[in-house]
Amino acid sequence: MKILLLNFCHFLKSKVLLLLLFGGYTFFGQGNFNLPAGTASDKIRFELSNNLIIIPVFVNGVELSFILDTGVGSTIIFSVDNKNSLELKNASKIYLRGLGDDEPVEAIKSLKNEVKIGEAASVDHTIYLVLDESINFSPRMGFPVHGIIGYDFFKDFILDINYTKKVIKINKPNSYTYRKCKKCYQTTLDFRDKNKRPFLSAKYKSEKGLVDINLLLDSGSGSSLWLFENEKKGIKVSDNSFRDFLGKGFNGDIYGERTKIKELHIGDFMLKDVTTSFPDSIYIKGISVNDRHGSLGGGVLRRFNIIMDYPNKKISFKKNSFFEKPFYYNMSGLTIQHAGFMFSKDYNEKDRFYIGLNEIVNKKTVQFTNDFILQPKYEISDVRPDSPADKVGLKAGDVILEINGRRAHTYKLSTLNDLFYFEEGKKIRLKIQRLGVDMRFEFYLKKVI
């Protein structure tokens, strides 16, 4: 038996637009998840960051954080570092290819692992470990994320996902009864790619009117909607668009156009002015645009409470309190990420926390001596050209010290980034540090579209 010993480090991470696309990976040999005998259901709480569902997952006894991703066929781990040891069994090397135009990435396939989510356990689980350290959610999410899980978990249960309460109820299929719901929309799921990835039908308002489109259901995408240009369907980028970095796939960065579409219809539910990304054609060369027209991501899914029923190939939508909220792009042009820690002598008593590094998920500071404190370091990782932040001279690499008079480290990174998505015309005052020099900037939020 081959044993691969790996180590994992917990990071403090934050929300920012991040699309890691693992669609297209379907493997065999998975053990089933089961609830304990006599248990018909279980509840698990999740974090919601950048429209992504983050759940606690135990792998061979080690607690990790995973994205719950309908767009992926297998369980994948990444972000390897040196902290908590994790044993992965029966390991062999493979290569994976995904969206992007770089070379395939090296990975490890590991068999017969034990995986637990709440009370549900799989004792014969296959895991794929990606060795490319650049594939790492942690700096941009706000709390540790070590991997993704999708079909392997969904296939064994009916999941009632409540985005507003941030709770998932896991139900055994043979003991679940659907409640009557006049305000719900229920439809069938079409499974493709070895019956592991779910597709649903929606309607898109084009110049030709409402047209039917087939979308991959992709809860692992933080975006609202991805569409692929299709002349026959009338799916095209509007003139009111801007070019941007869309995300990172297994095989490199993905670029394209961002815009808004007038209407997206899911059953009787109509969403207006939906933020939509159109990837360049080079990144979707292996996808038939006649059979698949795009992906429905977390930016739309979070506006519903959802019953995800893989065993019966069904999904049910019920709009929640997020439904009426408008769709916005980042109005500052800034992408901010967690970039480690920095020492400071200037802090308030309320900023102090006495914690271990492996408990740093929701904490803001770590005290090391009576005089110094370790605080999260928030750094600008990208500035969109011609954005308000770009025009005043902010640059990638600038360390953010204060925002509107409040110390940056007192924010969760997800909350900090949220400041840039609402209230057009809001004044933003930043104190930053560049090459050891403190500087101040101010600008006003402005809609890009």
Q: What distance, in Å, lies between the first and last C-alpha atoms of the chain?
A: 56
pLDDT greater than 60 at residue 317: yes
How confident is the prediction for the chain on average, in pLDDT?
A: 82
Tens of pLDDT, residues 27-56: 344 579 999 999 999 999 999 888 999 999
Are 166 and 112 spatial neighbours (Cβ–Cβ below 8 Å)? Answer: no
- Residue spans of beta strands (DSSP E) within 118-249: 120-130, 147-149, 158-162, 167-171, 185-188, 190-192, 197-206, 209-217, 225-227, 242-249
Residue 3 has pLDDT above 60, yes or no: no
Residues 202 and 261: their CA atoms lie apart, in Å, by 13
Tell me the percentage of the chain whose pLDDT exceeds 70: 78
Q: What is the pLDDT of residue 390?
A: 96
- Cα(449)–Cα(224) distance, integer angstroms: 15
CB-based contacts of 254, cutoff 8 Å, min separation 6: 19, 21, 99, 100, 245, 246, 247, 248, 279, 280, 283
Give residues with Cβ within 8 angstroms of 25, minimum separation 6: 72, 73, 74, 76, 96, 98, 128
pLDDT at 249: 62
pTM score: 0.82
Return the pLDDT at 261: 96
The string of pLDDT tens digits covering residues 365-417 is 444 445 556 677 899 988 999 999 999 999 999 999 999 999 998 888 878 88
pLDDT at 14: 26
Is residue 80 pLDDT above 80, yes or no? Answer: no
Mean pLDDT of 182-195: 92
Q: What is the mean pLDDT of residues 336-363?
A: 51
Residue 403: what pLDDT? 95
Q: What is the mean pLDDT of residues 328-344?
A: 82
